């Protein structure tokens, strides 16, 4: 969107005082200290959607107001601010009911959107694949349906009672029926996508090729790390949700094992449930991963909260028990760069509201490559699939093809030539050791390679 076409927006938040247990849908989980962080994130989301933030206000109340969320007096004050600033748009940091949105638009005389609508708009802009576009459309339609129903029963002409008889179906019922039909069609298309992914996963299992999933808060640097490890060249910039469609590439670990790395959509505070449901096919890639790399921007003041939010979403989709490596990214942005991953992880753990952090941590800079060697070694050690162990192989000179296979898919440590045969000490994955079983003299088997 060109600068001339940027919508001018005012941001509105609601902070509840003295009622930590009563918060409106979509409000921050820590009502007081997190309000500023949530508004800052809303401003970043608005910028990602192509908007220009003119001002932001936070209303403090004992409870949300049913008609307008923020109360009549604050709404009138907001209307004056909208008029004075020439704003085109008001963005609320909370989910609005259909009635609240309608009442606010009537008083403010401009477009009003809530946090969920804003995120859906960003997703709609960024989706490039057919699957991603279907998932976004499904989430948008599920969001729209209750807002159609919110117009009231007086719109219906099919009740058959006094005052409800009329010329037939109204536009409301026509729209609702069309949306239901479209939702069914999208769900069928996504099931076909899901089935196709299932076939791909079965094919992967036949060739023991592990999948490593990148997860993390949006803008934590997942795509930059993905490019660093695979050389894929996917989009990586500072906008929230810059990468939406999942990307899978293969790369080689130090043990010479080939693995697949999957870059998925970033998580965010209060990720709309409609999106979690719609992106089930994409999130299944996370579910099927043998190892998760949980990427955290350690240069952010909210690193602990972001890490806790990602762990919460992983619990919601049933992936919390997956083996994980905590990747402490952007250490180059720290005032005095820290590479003691264990120390940084301990601080995160202390600040993350009781969330259990992954047992392994590596400090890296995806931008300049610092620490990526340690990360690859840690991934090699953590991957449960096709475990690597050290073995001693003895090849007759006539088994050149088998020896070449070991050099190609294993990591040779030592070699010794004797009359009639060659002995090679190598780290090799289990699948390769099975293929070369007749040449194995000594196999540590099952465990990791010796140091």
Q: How does the average pLDDT of the chain come out, rounded?
A: 77
Fold of 388-443: Alpha-Beta Plaits (3.30.70)
- Residue 216: its pLDDT value, please? 87
What is the chain's Cα-based Rg?
A: 27
Who has greater pLDDT, 445 or 228?
Answer: 228
Residue 337 predicted with pLDDT over 70: no
pLDDT confidence tier of residue 447, bands split at 50, 70 and 90: very low
- What was the pLDDT predicted at 449? 37
Phi, psi at 273, each rounded to 5°: -65, -30
Q: Which helix (H) or strand (E) holds 185?
A: helix 171-206
CATH class for the domain made up of 3-122: alpha beta
Q: Which whole number is the average pLDDT over 244-254?
A: 76
Q: Which residues of 113-126 are buried (b: 16+ CB within 10 A; e: fewer)?
A: bbbbbbbbbbbbeb
Q: Where would I find the H helices in 26-170? A: 35-48, 72-85, 98-108, 115-126, 130-149
List, for residues 56-105, the tens digit of each pLDDT value: 999 998 889 999 999 999 999 999 999 999 998 999 998 898 889 989 99
Q: Tokens representing 327?
A: 């990747």
Q: Looking at residue 288, what is its pLDDT?
A: 76
Summarize pLDDT for 141-160 with one digit per residue, the tens: 888 887 775 444 434 444 44
Query: What is the predicted pLDDT for the residue at 186?
Result: 87
Strand partners, 14: 59
Distance in angstroms (rounded) separating the CA atoms of residues 232 and 305: 30
What distance, in Å, lies between the first and last C-alpha atoms of the chain?
54
9: confidence class by pLDDT, cuts 50, 70, 90: very high
In 3D space, the residue among 385, 205, 212, 381 whose CA is nearest the CA of residue 289 turns out to be 212
Q: What is the pLDDT of residue 103?
A: 92
Cα–Cα dist 368/153, whole Å: 60
Q: ∠ at Cα 317 (312, 321), nearest 5°? A: 75
> Is domain 208-382 classified as CATH 3.40.50.300?
yes
Query: For residues 110 and 51, what is the distance between their CA atoms, to the nearest angstrom?
Result: 14
Q: Mind listing the pLDDT tens digit for each residue in 170-217? A: 566 777 888 888 888 988 888 887 777 667 666 655 555 778 888 888
Q: Which helix (H) or strand (E) element contains residue 281? A: helix 280-288
């Amino acid at each position: 969107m060109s600068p001339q076409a940027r919508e001018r927006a005012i941001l509105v938040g609601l902070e509840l005082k003295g009622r930590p247990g009563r918060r409106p849908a979509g409000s921050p989980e820590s009502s007081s200290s997190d309000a500023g962080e949530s508004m800052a994130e809303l401003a970043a989301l608005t910028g990602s959607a192509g908007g220009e933030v003119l001002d932001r206000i936070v209303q403090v109340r004992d409870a949300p107001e049913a008609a307008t969320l923020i109360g009549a007096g604050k709404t009138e004050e907001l209307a004056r601010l909208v008029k004075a600033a020439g704003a085109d748009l008001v963005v609320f940091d909370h989910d609005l009911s259909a009635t609240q949105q309608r009442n606010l638009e009537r008083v403010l005389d401009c477009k009003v959107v809530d946090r969920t609508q804003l995120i859906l708009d960003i997703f709609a802009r960024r989706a490039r694949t057919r699957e991603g576009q279907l998932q976004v459309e499904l989430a948008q339609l599920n969001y729209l349906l209750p807002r159609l129903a919110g117009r009231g029963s007086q719109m219906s002409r099919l009740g058959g009672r006094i005052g409800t008889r009329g010329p037939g179906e109204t536009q409301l019922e026509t729209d609702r029926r069309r949306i239901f039909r479209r939702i069914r069609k999208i769900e069928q298309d996504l099931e076909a996508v899901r089935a196709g992914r299932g076939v791909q996963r079965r094919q992967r299992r036949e060739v023991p090729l592990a999948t490593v999933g990148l997860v993390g808060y949006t803008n934590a640097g997942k795509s930059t790390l993905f490019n660093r490890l695979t050389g894929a060249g996917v989009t990586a910039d500072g906008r929230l949700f810059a990468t939406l469609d999942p990307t899978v590439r293969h790369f080689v670990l130090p043990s010479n094992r080939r693995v697949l790395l999957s870059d998925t959509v970033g998580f965010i505070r209060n990720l709309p449930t409609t999106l979690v449901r719609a992106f089930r096919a994409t999130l299944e890639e996370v579910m099927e991963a043998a190892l998760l790399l949980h990427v955290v921007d350690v240069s952010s003041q909210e690193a602990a909260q972001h890490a806790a939010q990602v762990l919460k979403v992983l619990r919601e989709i049933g992936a919390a028990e997956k083996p994980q490596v905590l990747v402490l990214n952007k250490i180059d942005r720290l005032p005095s760069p820290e590479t003691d991953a264990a120390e940084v992880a301990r601080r995160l753990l202390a600040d993350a509201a009781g969330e259990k952090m992954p047992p392994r941590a590596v400090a890296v800079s995806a931008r300049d490559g610092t620490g990526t060697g340690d990360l690859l070694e840690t991934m090699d050690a953590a991957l449960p699939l096709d475990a690597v162990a050290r073995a001693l192989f003895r090849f007759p000179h006539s088994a050149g093809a088998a020896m070449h296979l070991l050099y190609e898919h294993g990591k040779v440590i030592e070699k010794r030539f004797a009359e009639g045969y060659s002995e090679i000490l190598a780290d090799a994955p289990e699948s390769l050791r099975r293929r070369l079983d007749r040449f194995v003299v000594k196999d540590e088997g099952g465990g990791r390679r010796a140091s």
